[in-house]
């Protein structure tokens, strides 16, 4: 009888331990999901926050099972792959960039989103952005079969970015056509056409690795230019607001005392101000990104990104104008800017 009682007590203790283990596991999983939700809210407010993105990737690597990508994220991945396969120039690759960026924001732990984003960013000539995306890819896929090739690609992109930046600093600029106020220092020059490329991953599931590792294309070196076309001046564009066509100030481009080409954001109210995140010029193309803040609303932000090409006569800048702001608002339109 005593033996039976001892057996029953032992079984009861084992059951208690198992129950506590299950409860602890559920509690840990719930805490991880709660933390992930908070990080995702933070990233939604500021998609450019690399530190938060890294926290999400590292957290998800500890979660078993990992959260699934939403259907919307998969949709953006498929659209990005489709755009990338049809792209033949910068604007075409830019459409793919927008889709892959959206996928990476909806599922920041998805390695393929970063890999494909890095591929099309390089093809569009955005070397610095491409190497950052590939770093996120390796972080999200620490056991990737193509890790060696991707690391080598990152090192090559570092060189490309350095060469382009140096070329921008040493290139002469035209004499300003009109004086303008002092502005922020010039950012690295826009990258030239990529000399090497990785293939876009056509599959979006996390378990599948790319079938091809590298697709290297040798291109002839770009011709050296002795003088950049003049971007100097005050640039404006026309837009329709509340049914009325208005002429709006976009930005000023000038040359400072050191001979550097600089950009000055427009003034759009006493409560708002802008800083320059990126200002790249390469021959006849330029990319400019400004981030707007409000003194009265600390959490508010908006970015304006111009991707423009100077006309042959130097009178207009044509291309895209993208605006993103807190809350996920994204507007992408074509613009033609003129000097005034």
- How do residues 31-87 score in pLDDT, each as one tens digit? 788 999 999 999 999 999 999 999 999 999 999 888 999 999 999 999 999 999 888
**Whole-angstrom distance, CA of residue 271 vs CA of residue 289:** 20
| pLDDT above 70 coverage of the chain, percent | 74
Nearest to 291 by CA among 308, 309, 279, 307: 279
Mean pLDDT of the 303-329 span: 90
The CA distance from 117 to 112, in Å, is 8
The C-alpha atoms of residue 52 and residue 43 are separated, in whole angstroms, by 6
How far apart CA 322 and CA 91 sit, in angstroms, is: 13
Residue 312 has pLDDT above 50, yes or no: yes
For 331, the token pair is: 């507007």
* Mean local confidence (pLDDT), 204-214: 36
Collapse the DSSP code of 208 into the 3-class scheme (helix H, G, I; strand E, B; otherwise coil) and give the result: coil
Q: Residue 31: what pLDDT?
A: 78
Domain-by-domain residue ranges, the chain? 233-339
Tell me what pLDDT residue 162 has.
85
pTM: 0.48
Place of tokens 């800017």: 337
For residue range 117-167, list pLDDT tens digits in order.
999 999 888 998 999 999 999 999 999 999 999 999 999 999 888 877 777
Tokens standing for residue 86: 């049809």
Question: Across 10-19, 77-86, 319-328, which has the greatest mean pLDDT?
Answer: 77-86
Rounded Cα–Cα distance for residues 38 and 82 (Å):
32
Locate 213 and state its tokens. Answer: 């590792």
Question: CA 276, 277, 282: angle at the middle one, nearest 5?
Answer: 90
pLDDT surpasses 60 at 208: no
| Distance (Å, whole) CA 254 – CA 155 | 33
Q: What integer pLDDT is reported at residue 223 of this predicted model? A: 42
What does DSSP say about strands 261-264 and 285-294: parallel, antiparallel, or unpaired? Answer: unpaired
Question: Are 63 and 29 a contacting pair, CB within 8 Å?
Answer: yes
């Amino acid at each position: 009888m005593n033996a039976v009682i001892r057996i029953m007590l032992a079984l009861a203790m084992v059951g208690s331990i198992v129950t506590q283990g299950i409860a602890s596991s559920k509690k840990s999983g719930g805490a991880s999901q709660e933390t992930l939700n908070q990080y995702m809210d933070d990233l939604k407010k500021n998609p450019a926050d690399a530190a938060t993105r890294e926290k999400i990737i590292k957290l998800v690597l500890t979660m078993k099972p990992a959260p699934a990508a939403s259907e919307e994220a998969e949709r953006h991945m498929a659209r990005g792959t489709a755009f990338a396969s049809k792209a033949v120039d910068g604007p075409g690759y830019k459409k793919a960039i927008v889709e892959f960026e959206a996928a990476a924001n909806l599922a920041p732990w998805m390695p393929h989103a970063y890999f494909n984003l890095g591929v099309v960013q390089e093809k569009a000539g955005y070397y610095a952005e491409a190497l950052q995306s590939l770093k996120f890819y390796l972080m999200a896929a620490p056991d990737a079969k193509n890790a060696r090739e991707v690391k080598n690609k990152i090192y090559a992109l570092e060189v490309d970015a350095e060469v382009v930046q140096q070329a921008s600093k040493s290139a002469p600029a035209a004499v300003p056509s009109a004086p303008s106020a002092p502005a922020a220092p010039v950012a690295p020059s826009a990258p030239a056409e990529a000399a090497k490329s990785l293939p876009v991953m056509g599959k979006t599931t996390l378990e599948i690795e790319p079938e091809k590792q590298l697709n290297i294309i040798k291109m002839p070196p770009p011709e050296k230019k002795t003088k950049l076309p003049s971007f100097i001046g005050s640039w404006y564009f026309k837009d329709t607001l509340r049914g009325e066509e208005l002429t709006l100030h976009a930005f000023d481009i000038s040359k400072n005392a050191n001979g550097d080409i600089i950009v000055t954001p427009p003034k759009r109210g006493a409560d708002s101000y802008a800083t320059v995140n990126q200002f790249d010029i390469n021959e006849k193309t330029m990319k400019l990104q400004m981030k707007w803040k409000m003194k009265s609303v600390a959490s508010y932000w908006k970015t304006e990104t111009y991707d423009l090409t100077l006309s042959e006569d130097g009178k207009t800048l044509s291309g895209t104008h993208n605006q993103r702001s807190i809350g996920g608002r994204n507007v992408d339109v074509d613009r033609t800017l003129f000097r005034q």
